[in-house]
Homo-oligomer: A and B are copies of this chain.
Amino acid sequence: MKAKAFEMIDIANRTEKPRDIGLTMVLDKGLGYRAAQDLMEYASEYIDIIKLGWGTHRLCSEEEVRRKIQLYTDNSILVSNGGTLFEIAYLQRKIDEFFEYAHQIGLSSVEISDGSIRISREERSEIIRKCKNMGFEVFTEVGKKDPLEDARLTIDYRIKEAKSDLDAGATKVIVEARESGKGIGVYDKEGKVKEDMVKKLTAGIGLKNIMFEAPEKSQQAYLILNLSPEVNLGNIKPEDVIPLETLRRGLRGDTLGKL
């Protein structure tokens, strides 16, 4: 770790990479190589996983994608597919080919979700086990992309699904919030946190095992202040990695003196 600027300022400690808690997962929706280099130079220490969002990278040059995955990997960051891409592979009955390719192009991690499709719990567990055997870290997602469908999932259902995934070998279970963070999962239409739901999910699944997608600053600040500075957070925008880390360390007004 290189020397930081303004080191005379004491800041809150954090578990260091590779870590099992306090993970930050970034959403890459087609970041160019130069922007990725900038991100690595400034923020790689604060990023645990980068997700190639939904189907975006299906549209990008293989050579460019391979080169970017390599850059992230060289900076000790896990790289994962977007859940939607897995789901399309599933619909097209090509998951073996899909995981094989994921391995070959350099992904170290996979996301298994059913946001837009249906998979039985048994099959889901089997897929998780298969991916673990292939050497992937496995992140699973609970929740539906469609707000109406998502609203029908009970908290109990979500907890059972999560536990089943963890039993099968998943590293963490992600609570869906999409890129927007509004009207889905633990957020209402304005993006405000449903406090009771967060409490119950965390109690049922375990803080360490859960990752909340939290694209908005108010969501990040709430979860840090009410759960822990080391809550696992996902769908962070590249430009918000350092701002998020300042929240975790008490370097921003929202959490300064409150951690």
Contacts and interface: CB of A to CB of B under 8 A. Distances in A.
Interface of A: 2-11, 29-35, 37-39, 41-43, 46, 53-66, 84-85, 87-89, 91-92, 94, 97-98, 101, 105, 115-116, 145-146, 178-180, 217, 239, 241-243, 245-246, 249, 251-254, 256-257
A101 B4 contact: no
A59 B245 contact: yes
Given A9-B92, A41-B32, A241-B30, A252 B84 contact: yes
Given A6-B58, A9-B88, A59-B251, A41 B33 contact: yes
Contacts of A97: 8
Contact of A62 (B3, B66, B145): B3
B253 A60 contact: no
Which of A6, A92, A179 has its CB near the most chain B CB atoms (within 10 A)?
A: A6
Contacts of A89: 8-9
B54 A246 contact: yes
Given A8-B94, A61-B5, A64-B42, A56 B253 contact: no
A100 B57 CA distance: 40
Contacts of A253: 54, 84, 115-116, 145-146, 178
A256 B58 CA distance: 14
* For the complex of A and B, 7 pairs with smallest distance between CB atoms: A32-B38, A55-B251, A145-B253, A30-B242, A5-B65, A5-B62, A2-B61
A66 B249 CA distance: 22
A64 to B, nearest CB: 6
A148 to B, nearest CB: 13
B116 A9 contact: no
Contacts of A8: 89, 94, 97-98, 101
A249 B88 CA distance: 12
